[in-house]
Amino acid sequence: MLKSVITGSGHYLPERVIDGTYFQDAVFYDDSGNKIEKSNEEIVKKFVEITEIEQRRYVTDDLMNSDIAAKAAKIAIEEAGIDPETIDYIIAASNFGEVSANGLANFMPSVSARIKNKLGIKNRKCVNYDMIFGCPGWVEGMILANDLIQAKRAKTILVVGTETLSRMVDPYDRDRLIFADGAGAVIVQAKENTEEGFITSNTICDNDAELDYLSNGCSLNPEVGNDRMFIRMKGRKIYEYALKNVPDAIKETIDQAGITIDDIDKILIHQANAKMDHAIINRLFKLYGKPYQEEIAPMTIQVFGNSSVATIPTMYDLIKKGEMQGHSFKKGGYVVMCSVGAGMNINCFIYKNE
């Protein structure tokens, strides 16, 4: 049986570590355009209590989104031991494409094309493909990669999640404390006669009333012009939506694979808010009548923040290489990788380790 197998992985975490003191001189406004009179120390403390994010990573001004993507991709390619010229597709997930240091988003040429260029790939049959799917973009990129391999349209695919969200946040919005930068990449290859690899997947798109839970908008500061768009988030709506829908979507995927929660080794869930993630996994376990075991769901958000599409591949690479204390993949274990984000979109796939 043909399987889609991860043969190499890599990640890039920016060198700049940003803690709460970075925001001590910021001026914050609420959604009504009124200046928030609380002290920044109090704002940061409350933010940490809600999300658990104490640190995040920001890229330096000299690096672009495709630069950090190429760095992660090179590590994955080297680990897979392949010639980059044999890559059939490059699937690159991001939210804003190539973002300049002054916060201008750019999709022409595409991020995937830029990555191919920076990897020095000359193969004209290597197709570049951008996946614009919100935070679930890398997971959806993996689902597409599996579909292409199962359709025998590809044998080797590079799937990258890369983000420079620090350049797209409103400096007057408290939500800026959530977002971070980073890149993660994997090489996926077609393999016969193996138990390892991609098992099954599930994607749900709710694009009705949920459409603008995450969107672009002008600054919260009414004195700032509206010529620039920033990330705008309806946190409470997202929280309620995720808790209502994500546990069922994960369970549906597990059931579809013909296994149970007891067979799951790890759940790598997109990290936007630690409180929300714990609540999602807790509800999932309740669906199976089981107590939540926190060690099943590793968390990186406390020190890396929300790097969107880069979160899951970065976490996968850290665990695989023994660089995440207290976590490792069990031989032959099943791993759930799932995400929720702008759209609103939810997706999930199950992967069996070697």
Q: Are residues 210 and 84 in the same domain?
A: no
> How many domains are there within the chain?
2
Q: Are residues 56 and 149 in the same domain?
A: yes
Task: Give CB contacts under 8 A, 24+ apart, made by 227-235.
Answer: 228/103, 230/103, 230/168, 230/169, 230/170, 230/173, 231/165, 231/168, 231/169, 231/170, 231/173, 231/175, 231/179, 232/170, 232/173, 233/175, 233/178, 235/175, 235/273
Phi-psi domain of 232 (left: phi exceeds 0; alpha: psi -120 through 50; beta: other) = beta
Q: Are residues 185 and 203 in the same domain?
A: no
Q: Are residues 11 and 133 in the same domain?
A: yes
Nearest to residue 186, comparing CAs of 60, 309, 305? 309
Q: Are residues 113 and 20 in the same domain?
A: yes
Q: CATH code at 327? A: 3.40.47.10
Please, is 230 exposed, middle or buried when counting C-beta atoms within 10 Å of its C-beta (0-12, 13-18, 19+)?
buried
Domain boundary (146, 173, 195) is at 195
Q: Are residues 206 and 159 in the same domain?
A: no
| Digitized pLDDT (tens) for each residue of the chain, 354 residues in all | 899 999 999 999 999 999 999 999 999 999 999 999 999 999 999 999 999 999 999 999 999 999 999 999 999 999 999 999 999 999 999 999 999 988 889 999 999 999 999 999 999 999 999 999 999 999 999 999 999 999 999 999 999 999 999 999 999 999 999 999 999 999 999 999 999 999 999 999 999 999 999 999 999 999 987 778 999 999 999 999 999 999 999 999 999 999 999 999 999 999 989 999 999 999 999 999 999 988 999 999 999 999 999 999 999 999 999 999 999 999 999 999 999 999 999 999 999 998
**CA torsion angle for 25, 26, 27, 29 (degrees, to 10)?**
-150
Q: Are residues 227 and 346 in the same domain?
A: yes
Q: Are residues 190 and 221 in the same domain?
A: no
Quote the domain boundaries for residue 233.
198-352
Q: Are residues 85 and 207 in the same domain?
A: no
Domain boundary (195, 222, 237) is at 195
Q: Are residues 93 and 115 in the same domain?
A: yes
Q: Are residues 205 and 173 in the same domain?
A: no
Q: Are residues 138 and 59 in the same domain?
A: yes
Domain boundary (160, 178, 195) is at 195
Q: In this structure, what token pair is assigned to residue 335?
A: 């791993």
